[in-house]
Amino acid sequence: MFVERYLSSFVVVASLAAAVSVFGQGASTVSATGAAAALKKSGAAPAPAKSKPAAPAKSAATAPPKPTPPKPAAQPPPPRTITATLPNFTSSAMPHLGYARYPWKVDIVATVFWVGEEPTENNPTPNDKSSWDTQWMQNYGGYDDPDPSKRSDNFTPVGFTPKQNPFYVALPYNDVIDFDSHKPEASKVIPWFKQRFVRSGKTVLKGTWIAIRYGNRVCYAQWEDCGPFVTDDHEYVFGNSRPKNTSNRGAGLDISPAVRDYLGMSSSGRCDWRFVDVSEVPAGPWRSLGSNNHFVTQQKAEKAREHTEISSRLEELRRMRDAYFQQNGTGAVR
């Protein structure tokens, strides 16, 4: 009798367990309660639920907890390397870096002229004198032969050493009317007029430095004459206009044989140019020759000052020597 009751209760519990597996966690709670009630009704007590035995606690003396290693400090990301390919310029490829007051005149036709050039149909003006020097060829030292076979590696003619800078140019504006007066607009259009003005009729343009750029080369030269063909084009020389001259393909610049040879350009080639301050002119062959050259005159002045200082020091030593002998007699030195 007892066995039958037990088997009957077991069947009920098994049925309820199957229901739990189908209906999930929520249904298992309800079904378990019903199963307990059924067992109670049948007289059998439900078996107590087995609990998982707790893991024995470890002794602090026998197994100390492992210390948590500190997190390594965050490393800064490696510096970002930026590379760029720069153009390969020579030492004279560009004017010195810094503020430039004067903009480039670009794509200007340049023709070659030279000291002592005879007048021709294309150039009716002889170049034995300039707009500012009635004895230009004499003061230069001779005929600046443009024939490449008659020029040296120093950009000078082979027959003589020029007395003036062989790197010279002409631009189509003259600031003076004659040796006694300036043009009315000169003081207004020439940026450095006030700084260089000495007297009426004395040009403030002669000797001004310009940079001439052809390809990846830049040459420096001094403004020594006026042309080509016109001498009143201040809108182009100091402004933003194109050259007004229409001859020789509209040339707006004359360059000397030295400038031509340094740049490697031919007559009627196209180039860029701009005015530069003396401080912008880098080392180069244009700084080597000429009584009209700022750098040559500066070197001469420095040498003269050094000579004066040395002479003064020697004279001072002589006076000290004479004073010593006068006080102590010549026999004081043995």
Which region holds residue 305: left if phi is over 0, alpha if psi is between -120 and 50, else beta? alpha
The answer to whether residue 249 is domain-embedded is yes
Q: Containing domain of residue 250, as a range?
A: 105-292
Cα–Cα distance for residue pair 224/200, rounded to 1 Å: 19
Length of the chain: 334
- What is the total count of domains within the chain? 3
Q: Please name the residue that has the structure tokens 């000397």.
A: 256
Does 121 share its domain with 192? yes
Does 151 share its domain with 273? yes
Q: Which amino acid is at 88?
A: N
The answer to whether residue 31 is domain-embedded is yes
For the stretch 225-276, pLDDT in tens is 999 999 999 999 999 999 999 999 999 999 999 999 999 999 899 999 999 9
What does the CA dihedral 170, 175, 178, 183 come to, rounded to 10 degrees? 150
Does 144 share its domain with 228? yes
Are 238 and 191 within 8 A, CB to CB? Answer: yes
CA-based end-to-end distance of the chain: 155
Does 248 share its domain with 141? yes
Does 174 share its domain with 250? yes
The answer to whether residue 299 is domain-embedded is no
For the stretch 129-179, pLDDT in tens is 999 999 999 999 999 999 999 999 999 999 999 999 999 999 999 999 999
Are 253 and 242 within 8 A, CB to CB? Answer: no
Does 228 share its domain with 309? no
Q: What share of the chain is helix, strand, coil (3-state, %, to 5)?
A: 35, 15, 50
Reported as a pLDDT band with limits 50, 70 and 90, residue 311 is: confident
- Residue 331 confidence (pLDDT): 63
**pTM of the full predicted structure?**
0.64
- Residue 67 confidence (pLDDT): 59
The answer to whether residue 99 is domain-embedded is no
Does 22 share its domain with 125? no
Does 252 share its domain with 120? yes
